[in-house]
Amino acid sequence: MVVVLAFLMTFLAWPGAQMQAQAQPVAPPPAATVIVEIVGEYPYVYAQPDFDSPILATLKTGTYYRVSKQKFDLGFHRIRFAKDKDGFISSSEVKITSGQAAQSVKKKPGEARSEVKKEPRKRTLKPIYVSRYQGVVFEQQNYIEDTMSNTRSDNILFFGYRLVGFNTLFTGEMSTDLAILYHSGAPAYYEKITGQPTSGQIINVQFTFDTIIPLAHDFMASYGFGPLVKYSHFQVSLKNPAGVGNDSYVLDDMNFGVLFRLGAATRIGIFGLRADVKYYIESKQYVGVNLSTLYEF
């Protein structure tokens, strides 16, 4: 008996056992709860107040539950979603019912009441870090290349299309970032060296697999790594060595490389604003900064 008691005391004193006990959700007392209607597009119940924690259940839109008045990290409420089962749900997925509606709701969790008159509800926005966006991007690059027997650089402004978020190019729990950038014209060093007008274009297609860092419901940071393809087409002219007219040349180049991206994002309603710093590695290494104005879809 002494051995058994000693074993039990040792187990209860073990840190892992204490952590496990502390991690179990506790149902909030009735006085500290409110009745809510499930209204969101992603009504997931999480094991902890964290979008990265395991999902315990998916609730049905239009049902009613009791949740804690208190909000936890990232705006979560504690919720009892089944008998003796508790978890956490984001405040963006629920709507607190009126007093009249609350009185007509049965105490049984999850039971919908068709006689409750529902008020028109506004579109519920899920957190920015699980949303997806598309829109325009403007990027300034310190463009560098080997040309005309030397390494030359110029600050070039690109504009283009950007597509970011989950379930864009791939289906599943993977956030990606696609950007297609375009610049019309040739770098200024061609005209400076040749003394003749130049023309051309640069197309940059890049893609990164992203890691999301949630900071608030409407604010996040992220970083990513991925491949890029760059194509350039320039038309330059040089004076003919005989001094009669000019000789025209076409300079085409295609390079493959990789890039690292670090950025932050916020939003106002369904419109997102993102800023990034990028480090490119292809035939040469150079950096870029961008600003994107995006629309949630």
**Residue for token digits 């070039």?**
156
Tell me: pLDDT of 120 over 50.
no
- Which CATH entry fits the domain spanning 27-114: 2.30.30.40, 3.40.50.300, 3.30.450.70, 3.40.470.10? 2.30.30.40
Q: Which helix (H) or strand (E) holds 101?
A: helix 99-103
Domain ranges of the chain: 27-114, 128-296
Cross-strand partners of 154: 143
30 confidence band (pLDDT: 50, 70, 90): low
CA distance to 91, 107, 117, 141, per residue, from 101 (Å): 19, 12, 7, 57
Choose between 26 and 80: higher pLDDT: 80
Tell me: pLDDT of 6 over 70.
no
Predicted pLDDT at 17: 35
Quote the percentage of the chain above a pLDDT of 90: 47
- For 257-293, write each residue's pLDDT tens digit: 999 999 999 999 889 999 999 999 998 999 999 999 9
Give the number of residues written for the chain: 297
Kindly report the pTM of this predicted structure: 0.61
CATH architecture of the domain formed by 128-296? Beta Barrel (2.40)
Tell me: pLDDT of 129 over 50.
yes
CA distance to 155, 193, 258, per residue, from 237 (Å): 22, 10, 32
As a whole number of angstroms, the distance between CA 258 and CA 254 comes to 14
Tell me: pLDDT of 11 over 80.
no
Token pair, residue 279, equals 């480090």
Predicted pLDDT at 155: 96
Return mean pLDDT, the chain: 81
* Chain Cα centroid distance, residue 84: 34
Please classify residue 125 by burial: count the beta carbons closer than 10 Å to its beta carbon, then call 0-12 exposed, 13-18 middle and 19+ buried: middle
Nearest-CA neighbor of 134 among 179, 190, 69? 179
DSSP 129: G
Quote the percentage of the chain above a pLDDT of 70: 79
Predicted pLDDT at 109: 52
- For 200-258, write each residue's pLDDT tens digit: 999 999 999 999 998 888 899 999 999 999 999 999 988 776 667 778 889 999 999 99
Predicted pLDDT at 9: 43
Predicted pLDDT at 149: 83
| Whole-angstrom Cα Rg for the chain | 29
Predicted pLDDT at 296: 92
Classify strands 64-68 and 33-38 as parallel, antiparallel or unpaired.
antiparallel
Predicted pLDDT at 119: 43
Q: Find all residues with CB under 8 Å of 10, minimum gap 6, and list them.
A: none
- For 50-98, write each residue's pLDDT tens digit: 877 888 988 998 899 989 988 887 789 999 998 889 999 998 889 988 5
Nearest-CA neighbor of 55 among 46, 68, 67, 64? 46
